[in-house]
Amino acid sequence: MVVLWLVLPAALGTFFLGVFVWAVFEHFLTTDVPSALRHPAKFRFLHCIFVYVVTLGNIFKKIGVCSLLRFLQFLQKSVRIKEDPALVVTNLRFGTIPVRLFQPKTPSRSPQRGIIFFHGGAALAGSLDIYHSLCGSLARETDSVLLAVGYRKLPDHHYHTISNDCLNASIHFLKTLGTYGVDSSWVVLCGDSVGAGVAALISQILVGRLDLPQIRAQVLIYPLLQIINFQLPSFHQNSYIPFLTQKFMITCMFRYLLIDSWWDAIVTGAFIPPKVWKKYRKWLSTDNLPNRFKKTGCQPVFPAPFNEAAYLENKHLLDVENSPLVRDDEIIAQLPEVFLVSCENDMLRDDALLYKKRLEDQGVPVKWCHVEDGFHGSLMLFDKKSFSFPCSLKIMNAIVSYIKSIM
């Protein structure tokens, strides 16, 4: 028995070390590191940790311990939250939706700014705890009341849940702004990645709602705005750059949208009927990108020859709910002003650029912050000290400055 207790820790240590070595090898074999990125060694280390966690989750799934998603949930629950003495933080529920309210502790004589924040995480990661520091900093630095929405996601919830939860939470908050001391003429929708796409979608849905306060502005941080054209230049240039690779993004998308196959048909656009592409091309074509962002060399034919079977099984990919970038001009023209953040080394870069053009073409005021050394998810590292990047602080400072400027 004594020997067993001596051998077991050594075996576990060898196992975890072996998995980490495998993660390092996988990183170097499959990952691109942007040449413009500052602190590449730090970037590599963080991605090795990311690959290590995912690999452990996949191993636990194969041996029957738990699924990868349950493993990620377990890790997220272990995040430690640091209290901010300048804020009052309250956990609430709007029906079945968990939310977290951040309010400046110092009383205000007049109603304050309001921010509704939707976090990213590819529908499987991200949580109120993981985004606690970011949301607290936004509330404190902009002197705003911030509502963070903890929408339900994978593995228990799928398509429609995220947008429905975020919309319902937003409507509830907008109807009760006075309760939280928020100025009804000054509410901003904000989000990153998937959350930014949801912010754009909700801004569109709320257009013309006379029973609710009007949204003052949108802050969209490297947003996911369409899942129709996967052949844009940024998808090719950045498909192997952490922390959003093509494989990871499409895998998460398939799980959330309950898609079992048709990977090639979706990536190449073969599931898109010619009539649909004729309508969407004016908004989703590479021709709409500034020349400096277009990929040089031979461009793939898009969409590929139409596959009707792929369309019949995956036509929900074409829903405006999944791709707010293709909303009709009549709605786009009525949107509140937008602050767009894009990163050069991000697969979703061109989503932001295409939406910028759509908004500007319809007369919507747009302020654009493009971060040359930025990468997807970099904002989350803004306060991580030795693991932060210059681009992380640049994005955070730009957002704070913008929100304070539009009072």
Confidence tier at 138 by pLDDT (50, 70, 90):
very high
Q: Are residues 141 and 209 in the same domain?
A: yes
**Which of the residues 183, 346, 350, 351 is marked catalytic?**
346
Residue 325 lies in a domain: no
Q: Are residues 32 and 94 in the same domain?
A: no
Task: Indicate the length of the chain as a whole number.
Answer: 407
Q: Are residues 108 and 185 in the same domain?
A: yes
Greatest mean pLDDT range, 7-16, 150-159, 162-171: 162-171
Kind plus residue range of the DSSP H or E element containing 2 = helix 2-30
Residue 323 lies in a domain: no
> Which of 271, 286, 318 is the last residue in one of the domains?
318
197: containing domain: 87-226+330-405
d(CA 26, CA 80): 29
> pLDDT at residue 47 above 60?
yes
**Which of the residues 144, 193, 203, 323 is marked catalytic?**
193
What DSSP string runs through 248-276? HHHHHHHHHHT--S-HHHHHHTTTS-HHH
Model pTM greater than 0.75? yes
C-alpha separations of 310 from 114, 163, 306, 316 in Å = 43, 25, 8, 11
Q: Look up residue 32 and give its amino acid.
A: D
Q: Are residues 313 and 340 in the same domain?
A: no
**pLDDT recorded at residue 308:** 96
Which of 92, 93, 95 minimizes the C-alpha distance to 103? 92
Residue 46 lies in a domain: yes
Query: Higher confidence at residue 265 or residue 57?
Result: 265
d(CA 265, CA 279): 19
Residue 82 lies in a domain: no
Q: Are residues 72 and 191 in the same domain?
A: no
Q: Are residues 62 and 9 in the same domain?
A: yes
Q: Are residues 201 and 341 in the same domain?
A: yes
398 alpha carbon, distance to own chain's centre: 18
Question: Is 393 buried (19+), middle (13-18) or exposed (0-12) by CB count in 10 A?
Answer: middle
Specify the CATH number for the domain of residue 95.
Answer: 3.40.50.1820
Mean pLDDT of the chain: 92
- Given a contact cutoff of 8 angstroms between Cβ atoms, the answer to whether 379 and 395 are in contact is yes
Assess whether 67 carries a catalytic annotation: no
Helix residue ranges, H only, 263-389:
263-268, 274-284, 308-314, 329-332, 349-361
Q: Are residues 222 and 237 in the same domain?
A: no
**Which of the residues 27, 119, 132, 376 is marked catalytic?**
376
> pLDDT at residue 111 above 70?
yes
Q: Are residues 243 and 207 in the same domain?
A: no
**DSSP strand pairing (366-375 vs 337-345):** parallel
> Which of 288, 318, 348 is the last residue in one of the domains?
318
Query: Higher confidence at residue 168 or residue 406?
Result: 168
92 alpha carbon, distance to own chain's centre: 23
Assess whether 376 carries a catalytic annotation: yes
